[in-house]
Amino acid sequence: MSNEPTYTYVDEDSIDLNLLCSQICFQPLTNPFSHNSCGVSFCRECIEKVNFHCPSCRTGAEEEYTEMKTLIVINMLGRLPIICSDCNTRLERRDFDKHKPNCLTPCTHGCGEKIPRSKLQEHDALCINVEVPCTAKTLGCSHEVPRKELENHAKECRYEQSRWIIEPLQQDTRTLRHELDKNYQTIIQLLTNLQVRQSCCLIEQQIHKEQVHKLEQEKLVLIQGHGQFVDICAKTIDRLEDNERRREEGRNIFSLLRGEMNYSGIGASVAEFKMQVRKEQEKQEEFGQKQKAPQQEEEKYNLEKSHVQLRERISNLTIQHNMPRTREEKYHEDRTHLSNSK
């Protein structure tokens, strides 16, 4: 599209000087503004070029100018006769803006036609001199020729002649490219899912390590507790075995007292029994010093009581068999009578 059309005045010498831009462009005013202090009028564009500095009074600022709205002056400026520079049409200046879209201008491509300025783009779509791409551009041809020569070029274009081969290949290429893009998106999605899964696995592995560490700590605590428990059980078993051994010794002594041995061995059995009683007393005393629980004291009392009863039975057996009593036996017998009398 060509530049905007311009105009010239029919008779510039006959234009009233009061309608001219003072001391700047000296042309009839367009969009006039007047200075409030001196009353001189200027075009809006002209006074902006000099930064609102009035050439007449040498002063001024933007707020000191007022747009001219005097109807007589506006009408006088609008009636000025002009000639369009493109189509040489004569008209008044106020009608020039309406004339621009319909101004007949020569085709810029040199076809010789004159077209209204508003329809230049429509003409370019039909102008025979406008250069257009080859009809085989999509096949690879990069030539541009005037529209009037397009048909002759198509007859000579090797791409156009090979259209029946190239088009199926392009269609296959587009199909393959579409599938490739689709597969690429699928791969991207799979990689994203894989990264997410790896992140989840790392988190699960960390959690598993923490749980294993916690279980190992609990295992150590249980092992320590188990060792203490085993020690307690071992001590308990030792005590139970010791008590069982003592009970077994008591049974043997009772079996002797019941007459399971012959008469000739009574003296030896009694001496052995006394020796066992002394050992039992020493063990009980040692046990009593280490363990002074009330239950053990009660057991000791019961054991001593059983010993006293055993001595009485031994004494009775000795009397029944007319065996001479030792000094120690007489002492224990006197002590027993004394305890019973109390």
% pLDDT > 70, the chain: 73
Is 146 a domain residue? Answer: yes
% pLDDT > 90, the chain: 5
Is 267 a domain residue? Answer: no
Overall number of domains in the chain? 2
Over the stretch 270-294, which tens digit does the pLDDT of each residue have? 566 567 667 776 776 666 565 555 5
Together in a domain, 11 and 90: yes
Domain CATH for 67: 3.30.40.10
Together in a domain, 17 and 76: yes
pTM over 0.85: no
Together in a domain, 93 and 155: no
Is 186 a domain residue? Answer: no
Over the stretch 247-263, which tens digit does the pLDDT of each residue have? 887 777 766 665 544 44
What's the mean pLDDT in 113-120? 80
Of the candidates 125, 132, 124, 126, the one whose C-alpha atom is nearest the C-alpha of residue 149 is 132
- Do 31 and 44 meet the contact criterion of CB atoms below 8 Å apart? yes
Together in a domain, 78 and 148: no
Is 174 a domain residue? Answer: no
Q: 194: alpha, beta or left, given left = phi > 0 and alpha = psi -120 to 50?
A: alpha
What Rg value do the Cα atoms of the chain yield, rounded?
Answer: 68
Is 311 a domain residue? Answer: no
Q: What range does the domain containing 136 cover?
A: 131-161
Instruction: Give the integer Cα–Cα distance in Å for 20 and 40.
Output: 10
Is 66 a domain residue? Answer: yes
Question: Of 161, 183, 203, which closes a domain?
Answer: 161
Instruction: Give the integer Cα–Cα distance in Å for 139 and 144.
Output: 14
Together in a domain, 13 and 75: yes
Of the candidates 92, 88, 68, 91, the one whose C-alpha atom is nearest the C-alpha of residue 18 is 68
Together in a domain, 87 and 141: no
E strand or H helix that includes residue 244: helix 163-257
Together in a domain, 58 and 141: no
Angle between helices 266-290 and 294-320 (to 10 degrees): 170
Is 256 a domain residue? Answer: no
Instruction: Give the integer Cα–Cα distance in Å for 251 and 141.
Output: 125
Q: 67: alpha, beta or left, given left = phi > 0 and alpha = psi -120 to 50?
A: beta
